[in-house]
Amino acid sequence: MFEVVSLDFGGTIAYEVKEDYVVYCEVLRELGYAANLNAIREALAKARSWWRQEKARSGRIWNKVAYVDFVKRVLRVLGLPDPNALAREMLSILPHRVEFRAYNDVEPAIRELRRKGYRLIVISNISSLENLSIYLARTGLKDYFDLLVASGSVGFEKPDPRIFRLASERVGVSPEKMVHVGDDYEADYLGAEAAGLKGVLLDRKGTYRGKTVRRISKLTELPRLLTRSEFWY
């Protein structure tokens, strides 16, 4: 019935090992700047608040340019000199310092899916394909996937159906033959369904128990779910 299984990245395949303010602090110190953890945490909180307002106002998506603007704002709040140049220098380092670790259920699940003949792809709301490739490589799982789609590189973010349809075109399979799995109800489940894919909500913490959706608590439940036709109508 299905040929392709699409997975979200952050929160579905992997999680960040260190808090972002710790990573920013390490990179700034590496570049020779005195950095205070609490000050960086507060600066990041202010930058995130700015981004939420900016996104609501303008509809911007998170991409390389937005990432640069975000880091510049953090640096300005910290009062560091020449934030424009420093932001670009930091962004040449940051993606390589962010440490992602795959959830324990991921590799057994994707190995089983591959064994059963499913093709695997990733669709992620992330700044760029380059960064998605870096992060996925750090989990050791990149070679399992036939296609990576990053919102910041294609210009559409989940839940916009266009990002799912673009992935469908690139992998050469109709949306009806694709399943998308993610941990975000609106972005992953509703977005996939709106594009004609079948959505599966990965709900490790039981956050969405009250919703009538195709829901799994571990990714290792997916291979069996795909064989149970009563779940797909």
Angle among Cα 226, 230, 233 to the nearest 5 degrees reads 95
Whole-angstrom CA distances from 50 to 31, 36, 69 are 25, 21, 10
Asked if 119 and 177 touch (Cβ cutoff 8 Å), the reply is no
Q: Is 188 helix (H, G, I), strand (E, B) or coil?
A: helix
> Can you say how many angstroms the Cα of residue 154 is from the centroid of all Cα atoms in its chain?
14
How many Å apart are CA 150 and CA 64, to the nearest integer? 11
DSSP string, 117-130: T-EEEEEE--S-HH
Task: Give exposure, 41-50, as e/b (b: 16+ Cβ within 10 Å).
Answer: eebbeebeee
What is the phi/psi pair of residue 213, to 5°?
Answer: -145, 165
Q: What is the mean pLDDT of residues 43-49?
A: 97
Assess whether pLDDT exceeds 80 at residue 212.
Answer: yes
Give the model's pLDDT for residue 51: 97
Predicted confidence (pLDDT) per residue in 48-102, tens digit: 999 999 999 999 999 999 999 999 999 999 999 999 999 999 999 999 999 999 9
**pLDDT > 70 fraction of the chain, expressed in percent and rounded:** 98
Could you tell me the two tokens for 19? 């808090």
Q: What is the mean pLDDT of residues 130-143?
A: 96
Beta bridge partners of 5: 120, 179
Going by pLDDT thresholds of 50, 70 and 90, the confidence category of residue 231 is low
4-16+100-232 CATH: 3.40.50.1000
- Higher pLDDT: 125 or 35? It is 125
Nearest in space to 156 (alpha carbons), one of 51, 61, 56, 58? 61
How many Å apart are CA 67 and CA 88, to the nearest integer? 10
How many Å apart are CA 144 and CA 39, to the nearest integer? 40
Q: What is the mean pLDDT of residues 13-27?
A: 96
Asked if 11 and 205 touch (Cβ cutoff 8 Å), the reply is no
pTM, entire model? 0.93
Give the model's pLDDT for residue 230: 60
